[in-house]
Amino acid sequence: MVFSFTTIADYHRQLQQGQITCEAAVLHYLQSIRQQPQLNAMVHLFADEALQTARQLDQRLAAGDPLLPLHGVVVTLKDVFCYAGHPVSAASRMLNGFNALFSATAVQRLLDAGAIIIGTTNCDEFAMGSTNETSAYGPVLNAADHSRVPGGSSGGSAVAVQAGLCMCSLGSDTGGSVRQPADFCGIVGLKPGYGRISRHGLIAYASSFDCVGIFGLTVTDVARVYNVIAGPDGFDSTALQMPAPEVEIPVATKQPPWRFAWLEPTLSGSIDPEIRAALQGCFEQLAAAGHTVEAVPFPLLDYIVPAYYVLTTAEASSNLSRYDGIRYGHASEGSPADLTAFYQRNRSEGFGREVKRRIMLGTFVLSAGYYDAYFTKAQQVRKRIIDETARIFRDFDAILMPVSPGTAPKLGEQLADPVAMYLADIYTVFANLAGIPAMAVPLFRHSNGLPFGLQVLTNRGNEVPLHRISAYLEAMRPG
């Protein structure tokens, strides 16, 4: 059976008509993974298990059972999700050899809906980074151009979807780690609103920012996965208590005129001129189609990257204090002088440079003498961003902005200058500071041959219109 994947709907039609089996689909992806090891997108492969699950799903269908919502959908998981009995390491030496004791809620919901987990994907260590170069497993290559990074931190997941190693993938988005790699790889990336998908079983980076996100080739495929995994969860008290309204499938694109805002400073400054021109062209097209598109001043933009890096490093320094190498994780060999020396050795050897830098930064901004100057200030900035964003959504349905100021950089280009790398997160960290949902929609191709798109952001709780607007934009994509 020859298999080529377009959408979950088409795959399900093929399954029902007997043109394909789940087993054949898994074999197809296993072959595809084995043929592209140079991408370095995968960390662990669960080949036998995936084939076994596929056969069980095929038997169900043969016995006349209805298709499950994600029947036979082949997915990968960023290496930050706990999946009981399977390795999870956050791409860090610190967790080398560690096996999850339980499954994350999102993972369990995927399994219950008939998805097949084929393996885990590479990422930046502890999800800290924007290029997928801080991984203990080495960098991931962008399948569109092997000299380029895929973006980060969920670079492996993005490339897995981009290069046809799976149908969909779960990532995590603390400050753009799903949307930015989706943008660099030319696929769809969703970060739902904070608390919409349970964080239970997701390795924590910065808990008040962390969101489970979804990669897919189309908005409708992402919506299908979203409908399955979103919603309240007794294991996560920060998960929203009210049920997540279902996104209609396929996502409707015909809608009354929308009111779009774009934030003035997002199209000035050091943005690639082709990205600016593409977005301006898109705004004109939307206005010509009868939608309102208005520029809105947003003087707070300059503060969002500093506020993000103060708050997330502070939370990270606290979250990562649990890795001491005593009960699990990397334990240094040899005989340390005392317990403190043992901790120091375990952590010095276990963590990579970027993680250490953030733990130190976070510890500094929380220290007694600097707490008010940095942490409290950044909290105040966050509050103002939240208030200002809510004000914008009184008059508008969505905000449109770039995902990144440039297309995928060359490997190694940003590693030497962490501040430049942090600054490039300017358009994505906004949604995490405000806690609102956002989607990266691939629309354009740069003259350098690389894909890029735009970002749609809606108000808290508005994932349904977010999907509709994104699907509408997706349908505008030339070709």
Catalytic positions, please?
78, 153, 177
Nearest to 407 by CA among 151, 210, 67: 151
CB of residue 84 to ligand GLN, shortest distance in Å: 23
Q: Give Cα 81 distance to the centre of its chain.
A: 12
Its sign, for the CA torsion 146, 149, 155, 156, is positive
Q: Report whether 274 contacts 449 (CB < 8 A).
A: no
Q: Report whether 453 contacts 475 (CB < 8 A).
A: no
CB of residue 147 to ligand GLN, shortest distance in Å: 21
d(CA 300, CA 474): 29
Q: Which is nearer to ligand GLN, 153 or 266 (CB)?
A: 153
d(CA 399, CA 294): 10
Residues paired with residue 145 on neighbouring β-strands, in sequence order? 142
d(CA 417, CA 476): 37
d(CA 201, CA 236): 9
List all residues 6 or more positions away from 109 whose beta carbon is below 8 Å from its beta carbon: 228, 229
Write down the residue that tokens 């046809």 correspond to.
164
CB of residue 367 to ligand GLN, shortest distance in Å: 21
List all residues 6 or more positions away from 352 whose beta carbon is below 8 Å from its beta carbon: 92, 93, 125, 134, 136
Q: Which is nearer to ligand GLN, 92 or 172 (CB)?
A: 172
d(CA 137, CA 467): 34
d(CA 245, CA 211): 18
User: Could you give the 3-state DSSP secondary structure of residue 399?
Assistant: strand
CA trace torsion 455, 456, 459, 460 (10° rounding): -60
CB of residue 136 to ligand GLN, shortest distance in Å: 16
Q: Which is nearer to ligand GLN, 345 or 358 (CB)?
A: 358
CB of residue 198 to ligand GLN, shortest distance in Å: 17
At position 451, the amino acid (one-letter code) is P
* Residue, CB closest to ligand GLN: 177
Q: Which is nearer to ligand GLN, 355 or 399 (CB)?
A: 355
Write down the residue that tokens 């060359």 correspond to.
410
CB of residue 176 to ligand GLN, shortest distance in Å: 5
Q: Which is nearer to ligand GLN, 23 or 173 (CB)?
A: 173
Q: Which is nearer to ligand GLN, 130 or 462 (CB)?
A: 130
CB of residue 116 to ligand GLN, shortest distance in Å: 26
Q: Which is nearer to ligand GLN, 176 or 451 (CB)?
A: 176
Q: Where are the beta strands (DSSP E) in 241-377?
A: 259-263, 292-296
Q: Which is nearer to ligand GLN, 29 or 205 (CB)?
A: 205
The binding site for ligand GLN (CB under 6 A) comprises 127-130, 153, 172-177, 205, 312, 425
Nearest to 401 by CA among 325, 461, 473, 329: 473
CB of residue 106 to ligand GLN, shortest distance in Å: 16
d(CA 179, CA 358): 22
